[in-house]
Amino acid sequence: MLFADPHYGIMPLVSGTLVTSVVALLVSLPLGTIIAIYLSEYAGSRTQEILKPTLELLSAVPTVVFGYFALLFLTPLLQRLLPSLPGFNMLSAGIVIGIMIIPYVSSLSEEGSYAMGATRLQTALRVLFPAAFSGIASAYVLGFSRAVGETMIVAVAAGTQPNLTLNPMEGAATITAYIVQVSLGDLPHGSIAYQSIFAAGLTLMLMTLIFNIGGYLLRKKFREIY
């Protein structure tokens, strides 16, 4: 996109955004839900006093710190398990984004669990979790929106080279990373590259809107059932 003979297309950016977001959700949704159930059902008051502030501090860490954590720590660690993994890849970026949004998922999921008066694991999973899913779904929607809109982690850890692939072990650019990359340059007002920033931003907004509408319909359905 940014070469002497530029070619514009949104699909490489969309694929990079979706892959990193899916990896992040695979990390954050199960861990966030488990943490929420543990805090509301099993953790003592002393444990809650330690874990809850820790999660809040995790959400306060600047995203650029997460980005360099993914690039300088997690990627070399993954390369020991996957020697063919390149330095810039969507896998480490997605995992770290998932870690970053765990506080969002766990806090809202815990509120949904408290609202239903959950008691123990079997009851919570088989009865109360489905009943509280309308509230927990809000946490999932928020987590996805946060993952889709993340900029610095993917820009640092996944690279800024557009790549049409669904393989998380490859590097790619996301929509937000592209906007940052292009905005840093000296672009003439009204040029195609300048206008592409707004097109990318509009695409990101539509993706988030579609997912939020889906989450609303899902919550409405479960509220009607329970």
What pLDDT digit, counting tens, does each position of 83-107 carry? Answer: 889 989 999 999 999 898 888 777 7
- Tell whether the model's pLDDT for residue 128 goes beyond 70: no
pLDDT digits (tens, 9 = 90+) for 34-71: 887 777 767 777 888 888 888 878 877 888 889 899 98
- Of residues 15 and 186, the one with the higher pLDDT is 15
Residue 6 resides in a domain: no
What is the per-residue pLDDT for 210? 84
What is the per-residue pLDDT for 76? 92
Residue 7 resides in a domain: no
What is the per-residue pLDDT for 224? 52
- CA-to-CA distance for 137 and 112, rounded, in angstroms? 9
pLDDT confidence band for 116 (50 / 70 / 90): very low
- Tell whether the model's pLDDT for residue 225 goes beyond 70: no
Residue 62 resides in a domain: yes
Q: Contact, 96 vs 66, CB < 8 A? A: yes
Rounded to the nearest angstrom, the gap between the alpha carbon of residue 110 and the centroid of all alpha carbons in its chain is 19
CATH of the domain at 29: 1.10.3720.10
What is the per-residue pLDDT for 152? 80
Residue type, 84: S
222: tokens are 């479960």
- Of residues 122 and 41, the one with the higher pLDDT is 41
| Burial zone of 183 (CB within 10 Å; 0-12 exposed, 13-18 middle, 19+ buried) | exposed
Q: Contact, 138 vs 223, CB < 8 A? A: no
How large is the average pLDDT for residues 20-46?
Answer: 82
Q: Concatenate the DSSP letters of all residues of 130-184 into one string.
A: HHTHHHHHHHHHHHHHHHHT--HHHHHHT-S-------TTS----HHHHHHHHHT
pLDDT digits (tens, 9 = 90+) for 162-216: 888 888 888 888 888 888 888 776 777 777 878 888 888 898 888 888 877 877 7
Residue 3 resides in a domain: no
DSSP 187: P
Tell me how many domains the chain contains: 1
Angle, helices 11-41/45-60, rounded to nearest 10 degrees: 160
Residue 151 resides in a domain: yes
- CA-to-CA distance for 183 and 219, rounded, in angstroms? 37
What is the per-residue pLDDT for 191? 77
Residue 157 resides in a domain: yes
pLDDT confidence band for 118 (50 / 70 / 90): very low
Residue 14 resides in a domain: no
Measured CA distances, 61 to 46, 57, 101, 158, 223 (Å): 24, 7, 11, 19, 35
Residue 11 resides in a domain: no
- Of residues 135 and 178, the one with the higher pLDDT is 178
What is the per-residue pLDDT for 144? 79
What is the per-residue pLDDT for 222? 62
Domain of 123, in residue numbers: 20-225
DSSP 84: T
What is the per-residue pLDDT for 74? 92
193: tokens are 């590259």
Q: Between the ranges 24-38, 111-125, 206-220, where is the mean pLDDT highest?
A: 24-38
First-to-final CA distance of the chain: 49
Residue type, 97: I
